[in-house]
C-alpha cells in the first residue's frame, strides 16, 4: 500500500473528467440546438454546413428574385391589356369613319380621339415602371445562388410606332455595321427605301435606309430582308437582342424647303404606324396598320405569358432545392435532442458514481494508519 501516489484516485479523476466533458458537450448542444457550436466539434462538417448556408440563403434570395420578376411581368401584362383596349378602340373608330353616313366634321371628331388615344398609348409605354425602373428592355434575372445562374428576358414596350414595320436582327452585328438582316412580320413589312430605323427601342440613334433587298416571305407569316443603312450602327447588337423599328418615312417626291427647320419629306411614324392614321382622308387605309399593331400586341403578350409560366416552374424548382439543401444542412449541424438527452442522463449518472468512487479512492490511503498502529 502506497500513500504518495494514489493511482486509483488518478484513474477515477481521468474517468470523471471525460464524463464531465461529455456531459458539458451534451448540455451545450441541448442549449443551442446545434450539434456544431465551434469548428473543433466537427471540422469538415463545419465547413460543409457553412457552404450549405450560403447556398440556402442564396436560393431564398433567388426565389424572391423570381417572384419579383413574375410581378414585373404581371405589370407588363396589364400594360399590354390597356394598350390592346386602346388599339381596339382605334379600330372601332376606323371602321366607323369608313362609313359614308359620317360627315367630314364627324370624322374630324373621330380623328381628335385617335390623336389622344395614340398619345396615351405612348405615355403608357414610356411611364409604366416597376420599382422605379423602366419596365421595357432586356432584364437579367438571377435565379440561383451562384454566378451565371440567371436568365435574360426582353420586355417589349409598344408605342404609337408599333404598327409600322419592325423586326429583329437575325445575327450578331458589331458597331459600325451597315448591312443588317432583319426578320419581321409579313403583315407590317417589308422595309422600303426611305424608312428611318431605330436599332433597339431605347437607342436614340436613327438610321436612314438607303437600300433594301428583296424580302423573302415565309409560311409562318414572317419575312427576312437585308437593309443597307446610311451610317454604321452606333453600338453592337446581338441576334434577336434588339427590336429594329421603322419609325418614319422620307418621301422624296416632296421638295424639301431649306428655309424651314423641319424636313417636309419626313413623315412621323412611317408606313402603317398608328401615327399615320388619318380618319379624315383615309379611314379604310388605317385598318391595316391597326391590325398590325394588334398582332404585335398579341405577340408580345404571348412571349410575356410564356415567360411567366417559365418563372412559375423556376419558383417551384427553387422551393424544392431550398427544402432539400436545408434538410441536408440540418443533418450535419442540428442536434438530435433524443440522442443528446440520453447522453446527458447517462453522463449525469456516471458523474455521480465517479464522484463517489473518487471519494472512496481518496479514503483508501487512510488504511495505512491501521498498519502503523
Contact between 280 and 94 (Cβ < 8 Å):
no
Query: What pLDDT is attached to residue 263?
Result: 54
At residue 16, φ and ψ (nearest 5 deg) are: -65, -35
Contact between 246 and 271 (Cβ < 8 Å):
yes
On the question of pLDDT at 28 being above 90, the answer is: no
Q: CATH class for domain 164-271? A: mainly beta
* DSSP for residue 255: P
Domain boundaries, the chain: 164-271
Going by C-alpha positions, the residue among 163, 167, 157 that lies closest to residue 134 is: 157
Lowest mean pLDDT among 20-24, 142-146, 239-243: 239-243
The three-state secondary structure class of 210 is strand
At residue 179, φ and ψ (nearest 5 deg) are: -110, 120
List all residues 6 or more positions away from 127 whose beta carbon is below 8 Å from its beta carbon. none
Burial tier of 325 (Cβ tally within 10 Å: 0-12, 13-18, 19+): middle
pLDDT grade for 114, boundaries at 50, 70 and 90: very high
Q: For residues 39-45, give the mean pLDDT.
A: 84
Task: Please count the other Cβ atoms lying within 10 Å of the Cβ belonging to residue 306.
Answer: 11
* Grid cell digits, residue 75: 405589370
Q: Higher-confidence residue: 280 or 270?
A: 280
pLDDT tens by residue, 119-162: 898 888 888 889 988 887 778 899 988 888 888 887 877 777 66
Going by C-alpha positions, the residue among 254, 284, 246, 286 that lies closest to residue 115 is: 286
pLDDT tens by residue, 181-227: 988 877 667 888 877 777 654 445 678 888 899 999 988 878 899 99
Measured distance CA(180)–CA(199) in Å, rounded: 10
pLDDT tens by residue, 48-83: 988 999 999 999 999 999 999 999 999 999 999 999
Q: Round the CA-based radius of gyration of the chain to a whole number and report it.
A: 39
Contact between 182 and 207 (Cβ < 8 Å):
no
Average pLDDT of the chain to the nearest whole number? 83
pLDDT grade for 261, boundaries at 50, 70 and 90: very low
Measured distance CA(317)–CA(125) in Å, rounded: 33
Amino acid at each position: 500500500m502506497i500513500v504518495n501516489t494514489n493511482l486509483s484516485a488518478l484513474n477515477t479523476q481521468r474517468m470523471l473528467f471525460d464524463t464531465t466533458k461529455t456531459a458539458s458537450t451534451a448540455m451545450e448542444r441541448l442549449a443551442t440546438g446545434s450539434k456544431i457550436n465551434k469548428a473543433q466539434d466537427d471540422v469538415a462538417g463545419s465547413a460543409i454546413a457553412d457552404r450549405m448556408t450560403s447556398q440556402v440563403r442564396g436560393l431564398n434570395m433567388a426565389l424572391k428574385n423570381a417572384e419579383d420578376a413574375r410581378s414585373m411581368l404581371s405589370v407588363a401584362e396589364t400594360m399590354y391589356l390597356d394598350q390592346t383596349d386602346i388599339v381596339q378602340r382605334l379600330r372601332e373608330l376606323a371602321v366607323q369613319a369608313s362609313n359614308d353616313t359620317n360627315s367630314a366634321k364627324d370624322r374630324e371628331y373621330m380623328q381628335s380621339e385617335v390623336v389622344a388615344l395614340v398619345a396615351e398609348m405612348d405615355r403608357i409605354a414610356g411611364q409604366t415602371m416597376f420599382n422605379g425602373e423602366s419596365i421595357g428592355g432586356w432584364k437579367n434575372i438571377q435565379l440561383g445562388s451562384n454566378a451565371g445562374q440567371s436568365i435574360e428576358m426582353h420586355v417589349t414596350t409598344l408605342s404609337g410606332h408599333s404598327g409600322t414595320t419592325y423586326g429583329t436582327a437575325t445575327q450578331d452585328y458589331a458597331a459600325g455595321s451597315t448591312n443588317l438582316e432583319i426578320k419581321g412580320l409579313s403583315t407590317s413589312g417589308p422595309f422600303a427605301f426611305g424608312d428611318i430605323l431605330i436599332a433597339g427601342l431605347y437607342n436614340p440613334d436613327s438610321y436612314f435606309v438607303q437600300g433594301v433587298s428583296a424580302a423573302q416571305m415565309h409560311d409562318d407569316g414572317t419575312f427576312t430582308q437585308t437593309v443597307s443603312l446610311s451610317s454604321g450602327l452606333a453600338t453592337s447588337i446581338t441576334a434577336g437582342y434588339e427590336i429594329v423599328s421603322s419609325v418614319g418615312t422620307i418621301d422624296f417626291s416632296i421638295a424639301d424647303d431649306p428655309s424651314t427647320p423641319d424636313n417636309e419629306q419626313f413623315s412621323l411614324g412611317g408606313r402603317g404606324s398608328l401615327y399615320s392614321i388619318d380618319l379624315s382622308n383615309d379611314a379604310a387605309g388605317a385598318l391595316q396598320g391597326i391590325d398590325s399593331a394588334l398582332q404585335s400586341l398579341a405577340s408580345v403578350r404571348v412571349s410575356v405569358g410564356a415567360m411567366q409560366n417559365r418563372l412559375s416552374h423556376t419558383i417551384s424548382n427553387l422551393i424544392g432545392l431550398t427544402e432539400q439543401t436545408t434538410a441536408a444542412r440540418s443533418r450535419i449541424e442540428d442536434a438530435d435532442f433524443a440522442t443528446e438527452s440520453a447522453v446527458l442522463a447517462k453522463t449525469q449518472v456516471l458523474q455521480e458514481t465517479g464522484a463517489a468512487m473518487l471519494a472512496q479512492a481518496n479514503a483508501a490511503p487512510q488504511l495505512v494508519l491501521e498498519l502503523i498502529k
